[in-house]
A = this chain, B = another copy of it.
Amino acid sequence: MGIFNKIFSKKSRLPESDGIFFTEIQNMLGFDPLDLSHYRKAFTHRSSNKLDEKGFPINYERLEFLGDAMLGSVIAAHLFNEVPTGDEGYLTKMRSKIVSREHLNELGRDLNLIKWVESKVSAQHFGENIHGNLFEAFIGAIYLDRGFDYCEKFIHQKVILPYVDIAQLEGKVISYKSLVIEWCQKEKKPFLYEVYEDNGVEGQKHFGVKLKIDGRVVSRARATSKKKAEEQASKRAFFAFQEKINKK
């Protein structure tokens, strides 16, 4: 970015703390946020007791409702298009798996949304569900800020691409990680999934995994979620060791 662009960029017109927040949100979104107040609200816990100028509470709870609805319809449209043979019952079941509480918590945790939370309660007092709640609220904020299409774009990038493997959700594909662990246990070989984080290109967070068996790195993988990176590394190790595993 040239010096003139830099001077006139959106970021430089904001107070410094907003500038940092803007850049971080922008990195997370993959596009520009227009009104940061929605995102600030998405990270404001009720314990902060904030009120707006009309005396209404400012916190993320209403945004959760909105985000949950948007997530539901984006996932519905995705499944509808991806699985042309799936009937209504199948589509409904698959969607519940994708938007399960556990899955949303995982998404929120992997994105490390909690680091932005404004609260009067310390982080260790939050239950596990705060991760999923923040994730839903964040989606609600995107909808308010940029509308449905951007919401869909974000969900595709951060939920569908890294997390939604239809074959795996259907249980047709076994988990390679569990195969690898089973094999290591049978063979009494110590194993270790060594996870590291990096911010890759364009600041999108990635998780790298080195799978060590018997102290030796047998495979590596890098993905947008820990789970996916571990699964990928396991798959690679699995194919490398396939003969050995199949013989047992």
Contact = CB atoms under 8 A, between A and B. Distances in A.
Interface string A43-80: 00000000000101000011011101110110011001
Interface stretch (A10-18, A87-95, A220-228): A87-95
A65 B91 contact: yes
Contacts of A76: 65-66, 68-70
Nearest to A81: B144
Interface string A140-162: 10010001110010000000000
Contacts of A19: none
A196 B159 CA distance: 50
A85 interface: yes
A84 interface: yes
Nearest to A57: B87
Given A70-B73, A72-B72, A72-B73, A65 B92 contact: yes
Contacts of A147: 149
A145 to B, nearest CB: 13
Interface of A: 54, 56, 61-62, 64-66, 68-70, 72-73, 76-77, 80, 84-88, 91-92, 140, 143, 147-149, 152
